[in-house]
Amino acid sequence: MALLSVGQVIRDTYTVERLLGRGAFAEVYRVEHRYLGRQAMKVFRQEGMSAEQVRDALGEAMLLSRMGHPNIVRVFEANTVEADSGGHAYFTMEYVNGGTLTGFRQSFGDAFVPIPVAVDVMRQVARGLAVAHRESPPIVHRDITPQNILVGYDRDGPRARISDFGLARKVSALTLLASSQGTIAFMAPETLLHPHLASMPGDVWALGAVFYLLLTDEFPYPRRAAGDPITAAWDTTALVPPNQVRYAVDDLLNAIIVRALSFDTATRYPSAAEMLADLEAWPARQNPPRQDGPPRHVPPKDPPPADTGPTDSGPTGTGRDSRHADTPRADRPRQRGREPGPAGEIAAGKNTGG
């Protein structure tokens, strides 16, 4: 059952407009602030929290308010609200009009996300994460997944923001597993074995996995995505490099993703900053004018409301007839990945459709 209902007024200030999403610990609503307009409100499910528990839950908001960056979701206010089910902690943040990275990827329908677009988005995510990693002590996100990356639309195109730093502050093995159900694909092997040990290379792995998925529509290690954490942790099946799934991925980009996804933390980028440096150096020129062609646009699962103006529109394409001009290097049948979470379907056959 929903914690808040549409039309409900919170603290004389926020009117609840609709439910945006549900996570492991919280529900997120779009609300209208009496004076400041549209915002998002994250309400924690746990009811009747003690003062200490409230402070704990709102630690996420505290972290977010410390790291002001265009690629990290911005926090406005934190407090408690009386709901039917009792008192709940909440915080408000900027409302991101586009939805999650999952929806963004799916909005390209049968086409792959164009490589420059994918690099642009992932560079932004890496910038945000690098800021967190540069904090002293470093802030480790621990739960970088497509569901926790929000994509809005600016004049300059898509703008990605990292959200859900809920696991960043304090975590037990139990909470990590609760939240990571279905997101094993984004967890580094050492994280699966030692969930309580937060590490920046663990975030780098997740970044690599998200990037791989965005470029190829497949999980980097498909077997681990389907299995349980322990089996996944010990699965040493070699990585199929992204350019073997999607021919148009150039060597430099391929090497960046392969390094982010290396089993050995000594080989992996030590933090988002080093991966970002390589991504910033990635020359767009290296990709010749796309054989990909413009994407065929399919509206995201959770389309932005019609009343929010022109910047709310998703990536638009001019329509195309051939699905994809990339040719797979290896023409072997592959198990299509399936993204965990509410919007999980992955369109099949992008690479084989000619």
Ligand X SMILES: Nc1ncnc2c1ncn2[C@@H]1O[C@H](COP(=O)(O)OP(=O)(O)O)[C@@H](O)[C@H]1O
Is there a catalytic annotation at residue 250? no
Within residues 235-264, the interface with Mg ion by CB under 5 A covers none
Amino acid at 325: A
Nearer to ligand X by Cβ, of 122 and 257: the residue is 122
Nearer to Mg ion by Cβ, of 19 and 252: the residue is 19
State in angstroms the smallest separation of the CB of 195 from Mg ion.
16
Nearer to ligand X by Cβ, of 65 and 244: the residue is 65
Instruction: Please identify which of the residues 12, 56, 110, 143 carries the catalytic annotation.
Output: 143
Residues 6+ apart with CB under 8 A from 331: 352
268 in contact with ligand X (CB under 6 A): no
**Encoded tokens for 6:** 């549409």
Rounded to 10°, the helix 251-260/272-281 angle is: 170
Amino acid at 225: A
Q: Give the interface segment with Mg ion, choosing from 113-121, 160-168, 238-246, 256-264 (CB under 5 A).
A: 160-168
The pattern of x and - marking residues 174 through 213 that bind ligand X according to CB under 6 A reads ----------------------------------------
23 in contact with Mg ion (CB under 5 A): yes
How many residues touch ligand X under the rule CB under 6 A: the total is 21
State in angstroms the smallest separation of the CB of 214 from ligand X.
16
Q: Which does 102 bind (CB under 5 to 8 A by kind): Mg ion, ligand X, none?
A: none
Within residues 113-152, the interface with ligand X by CB under 6 A covers 147-148, 150
State in angstroms the smallest separation of the CB of 270 from ligand X.
26
216 in contact with ligand X (CB under 6 A): no
State in angstroms the smallest separation of the CB of 235 from ligand X.
26
Nearer to ligand X by Cβ, of 85 and 262: the residue is 85
Q: Give the interface segment with Mg ion, choosing from 102-110, 142-150, 232-240, 260-268 (CB under 5 A).
A: 142-150
**Residue 44: in which H helix or E strand, if any?**
strand 37-44
Query: Rounded to an integer, what distance in angstroms lies between the CA atom of residue 11 and that of residue 82?
Result: 9
State in angstroms the smallest separation of the CB of 54 from ligand X.
16
166 in contact with ligand X (CB under 6 A): yes
148 in contact with Mg ion (CB under 5 A): yes
Residues 207 and 119 sit within 8 Å (Cβ to Cβ): no
Within residues 21-40, the interface with ligand X by CB under 6 A covers 21, 23-26, 28, 40
Dihedral pair phi/psi, residue 266, rounded to 5°: -70, -25
Residues 64 and 50 sit within 8 Å (Cβ to Cβ): no
Nearer to ligand X by Cβ, of 93 and 200: the residue is 93
* Residues carrying an active site annotation: 143
Site for ligand X, rule CB under 6 A: 20-21, 23-26, 28, 40, 42, 73, 93-96, 100, 147-148, 150, 163-164, 166
